Amino acid sequence: MNKSSRIYIAGHRGMVGSAIWRRLEKLGYTNLMGKTSKELNLRNQQAVNQFFESEKPDVVIDAAAKVGGILANSQQQYEFLLHNMQIQNNLIDAAHNYNVIKFIFLGSSCIYPKLADQPLKEEYLLTGPLEPTNDGYAIAKISGIRLCKAIRDQYNKDFVSLMPTNLYGPNDNFDLKSSHVLPAMLRKFHEAKGQEPTVNSQQSTVKGQKESTVKGQDKAVTLWGSGTPMREFLHVDDMAQAVVHAVKNVLPEYLYNVGTGSDVTIKQLAETIQKVVGHQGQIIWDSSKPDGTPRKLMDSSKLNQLGWQATTSLEDGIASTYKWFLENVDNYKKVKL
């Protein structure tokens, strides 16, 4: 690939797609393409084929998906399975039929069995039952991985799948009914503060800055589960750099994990977010709500050995995400309180 290659990023306005766009643009790639869902319905095969025929992308990065947390996944199994399969099948098939040079398929660590050995290795795929609360999304992503592998094996094409751990960062979804655990917690702690800070007065607790002083009575924050499950979190800018690495290189295998190599308990995550936000109230754990998979730590050594490494610490990443959240509360549809 060169800086003028035609690169289509499906889902370019989402958290992952927008991060990839920013990174490629910063590196000097000049032919980036993106379409909103109103401009191109990725569930419509005819529309997707027409787009590929007219635009002729060299590279396709599939960052488009229907995503959500435990609540959304458990309540919308049909939509999470069907809609994701429709999106990825149309993109993968069009990329194959219109001779795209490189296709990068993005998924999630939920593709692995619920009780698989830790850390999760790529070879654990399809070796056991999935977590029931999100198996619709997981099955869809597994089918995409296998479809890319089949094209790779049968037609010798550069189709590769990258499976990130839990992602967070700018442009995340902060809707409490559909968001993932980290942005949901961040919003809950923010809303529970007795006095909401402005962007200018907010002080993070990273890199030697002073901790903020919170005035007023902070409300208690109730969180799902026991707080004991362990999760790994990757800043979306680190994920974008992994995608750029896949754009610039031909990766020798069909599937790669993308993570930090370390995890924290949900309780530790909550306490870190509470510290960054400056909330000083009580945390209540509702053990009647599901915990989900006990642990999901990914083994990312295969991609590490090829030259990619995560660089953003969890506290620094949460602090920068909270700063973005504060700056966009009034004008970003998914953040409005």
> Active-site residues: which are they?
137
Residue 314: which residues within 8 A CB-CB, separation 6 or more?
233, 260, 264, 269, 272
Cα–Cα separations (whole angstroms), residue 287 to 23, 116, 246, 316: 40, 23, 41, 29
Question: If DSSP codes are grouped into helix, strand and coil, which group holds residue 7?
Answer: strand
DSSP 157-172: -EEEEEEE-EEESTT-
Q: What is the helix (H) or strand (E) element at residue 44, kind and residue range?
A: none
Nearest 10 degrees: CA dihedral of 125, 127, 129, 134? Answer: 0
Interatomic CA distance for residues 34 and 194, integer angstroms: 41
State how beta strands 264-265 and 230-231 pair: antiparallel
